[in-house]
Structure 1
Amino acid sequence: MPRWKHLLRALSVLLPAVAVTLLPATSADAAGGGLNDYSCQPSAAHPRPVVLVHGTFANSVNNWRGLAPYLVRRDYCVYALDHGQLPGVPRVHGIGPLDRSAEQLKTFVDRVLAATGAAQADLVGHSQGGLMPRHYLKFLGGAAKVNALVGIAPTSHGTTLNGLTKLVTHFPGARELLSRTVPALTDQVVGSAFLTRLNAGGDTVPGVHYTVIATRYDDVVTPYRSQFLDGPDVRNVLIQDRCAFDRSEHTALGLADRIAFHEVANALDPAHATPTTCLSAIG
């Protein structure tokens, strides 16, 4: 197959995720009333604020138009940050080096904890947003401030994009160009220096509860089982084990899949978890 056709195939895989940024993002309220309400006080039922961490090319509004109001309606204090900006690239987020984005997450969590008076937060991330917080937990002291990390289709061990990441070897200078323009992408390729350092010595850190929610139809993070984590306090969920009819791919799983949302709610409040089935989509 000619190289240009390989490139078009790669773009066809990435465009659904990039399309999230094409939606208007005027304010945090666009994702649902109650998001980023710093007057919110956590309830006795839900004592920890929830911080939502968006994926590559996404932002704090568009990535969470479905999940943010879903959680607010369930009486959670919900917050979302924009991270991963690069100088000279306005209105595009989630593209900077992941270690720097983790520093932004650290600052944001501290702000949320100060505003709410809570001792710890829970983190929920989609795609890159399920991976990058693990750097915060492991290297930036986040484990003391985070109770749980829920990753929706996370790039836990990187992605091959169905083998398309090998394309860069056919285009001289392509890897260097990507590293300069979208370092977040190269950080998430299987075998990257970021991933090698992060996963050395184990996927998890003590004291944090981990949940991974994946779909077998993921077309961005491949192979899909690479999303799952190993560790003593990990719950890996394949959404088709809950509802065999659910055919959500990578983007839809984080944006609109209410079966996945139900699994998020179970992870945030395991003491009151209820079975997830196909009927959860209408609950």
Structure 2
Amino acid sequence: MLRVRLSVVLAAVVALLLPTASYAAPLPVPYSFLTSAVLAGLQPNADAPGTNIWTCKPTAAHPRPVVLVHGLTGNKATNWQTFGPLLKNNGYCVFALTYGVNKLAPTPLDQFGGVNRIEDSAVELKAFVNKVLAATGATQVDILGHSEGTVMPNYYAKFLGGAPKIKRYVSIAPLWHGTNPAGLDKLSTMGTPFGVTALLGQALDPFFASGPQLLAGSAFWAKMRSGGTPIVPGIEYTNIVTQYDELVQPYTSGIEPGMTNHVVQSYCPLDFSEHFQIVADPIAARIVLNALDPANRKPVPCQLVLPFLGTL
């Protein structure tokens, strides 16, 4: 009986001295976008691993929570199967929202975010950031966005008072000059102010309002680049682009003077990531970690990364 009691006391002392949380196994980090996104899409309204742990408190090493902002038609789970666990494993408090969902869409179409007007989605982000700051006790967040998620937070920063609440702003596959797939930006010069782009926007507004806004030459970009630049003073911007981006055309739309710009192929010519795989790319991942924590930069690796499939 005495031995049993002593073992219980000893176990309790060990638990106090060596908290179980410090021995938690790292979360698996997949580096294949297609596989992980499809699997995540089978779980409606799920959180990506490592994200939205509302009891998480920032540390001295990482004092700001990271808010993940998905791309067009993505959501908080499908877009962040790589960066949710990666950032959590590296000691960050990580939060992700799904924004811009068509409220009339039935399930499963209600799992596709980013389709509403960017201005309306920015209002959703503002509320989410406030919720994160209240839960964590932090005064600022860092933003990690992909595709449309590299644009919408800047509207919040520039026009909705978000600038003081953002320190670092890291963009994967950004489009600071809009995108011009198949020459669609030429529509903006046909006949009316902002031309067919404006008419297209009116037609798609109930279903896909953000799509025409992202085209080069749209009224949205005229406003975002008012003053000659989208840069908001006080925010540290980092862009990560790929030469094989099939949706941001040209890919150099994601390169902006006054920001820190990275092309993944300049680090690794074996990286064939396109618009989607770059958000699950180990090369881009190291650039992101270095941008969020520049005092502890590590070398960027180089390995074969296939389009959509990533590392095998």
Name the TM tier (shorter chain).
0.7 to 0.9
The one-letter code matched in structure 1 to 2:221 is: L
Equivalent residue runs for 1:1-283 within 5 Å:
23-24=40-41, 26=43, 31-32=48-49, 34-89=50-105, 90-164=110-184, 174=200, 176-201=202-227, 202-231=229-258, 234-254=259-279, 256-278=280-302
The one-letter code matched in structure 1 to 2:231 is: T
Greater alpha carbon shift after TM alignment, 126-135 vs 156-165: 156-165
| CA deviation after TM superposition for structure 1 residue 135, in Å | 0.4
Contact 1:98 1:184 in 2 (8 A): yes
SS in 2 for 1:163: helix
Q: Cα distance 1:20–1:277, how it changes in 2: closer, same or farther (>3 A)?
A: closer
The one-letter code matched in structure 1 to 2:68 is: L
Q: Cα distance 1:174–1:105, how it changes in 2: closer, same or farther (>3 A)?
A: closer
SS in 2 for 1:249: coil
| CA deviation after TM superposition for structure 1 residue 174, in Å | 5.0
Contact 1:47 1:118 in 2 (8 A): yes
| CA deviation after TM superposition for structure 1 residue 112, in Å | 0.3
In the alignment, the residues of structure 1 paired with residue 47 and residue 134 of structure 2 have an alpha-carbon distance, to the nearest angstrom, of 24
| Structure 2: gaps spanning 5 or more residues | 1-32, 189-194, 306-310
In the alignment, the residues of structure 2 paired with residue 121 and residue 175 of structure 1 have an alpha-carbon distance, to the nearest angstrom, of 32
SS in 2 for 1:125: strand
Q: Cα distance 1:235–1:199, how it changes in 2: closer, same or farther (>3 A)?
A: same
| CA deviation after TM superposition for structure 1 residue 279, in Å | 5.6
In the alignment, the residues of structure 2 paired with residue 164 and residue 192 of structure 1 have an alpha-carbon distance, to the nearest angstrom, of 11
Greater gyration radius: 2
- The superposition leaves residues 138-184 of structure 1 with CA deviations (integer Å, 9 ceiling, x where unpaired) of 0111110000111100122111114256589999x755422332011
Contact 2:100 2:116 in 1 (8 A): yes
The one-letter code matched in structure 2 to 1:236 is: N
In the alignment, the residues of structure 2 paired with residue 170 and residue 267 of structure 1 have an alpha-carbon distance, to the nearest angstrom, of 39
Q: Cα distance 1:266–1:28, how it changes in 2: closer, same or farther (>3 A)?
A: farther
SS in 2 for 1:62: coil
In the alignment, the residues of structure 2 paired with residue 195 and residue 25 of structure 1 have an alpha-carbon distance, to the nearest angstrom, of 35
Q: TM-score, normalized by length of structure 1?
A: 0.85
Contact 2:53 2:94 in 1 (8 A): yes
Q: TM-score, normalized by length of structure 2?
A: 0.77
Aligned residues: 261
Contact 1:30 1:65 in 2 (8 A): no
| Structure 1: gaps spanning 5 or more residues | 1-15
Structure 1 runs (4+) deviating above 3 angstroms are 19-23, 27-30, 164-171, 173-176, 279-282
| CA deviation after TM superposition for structure 1 residue 200, in Å | 1.1
Q: What's 1:3 paired with? A: none
Q: What's 2:14 paired with? A: none
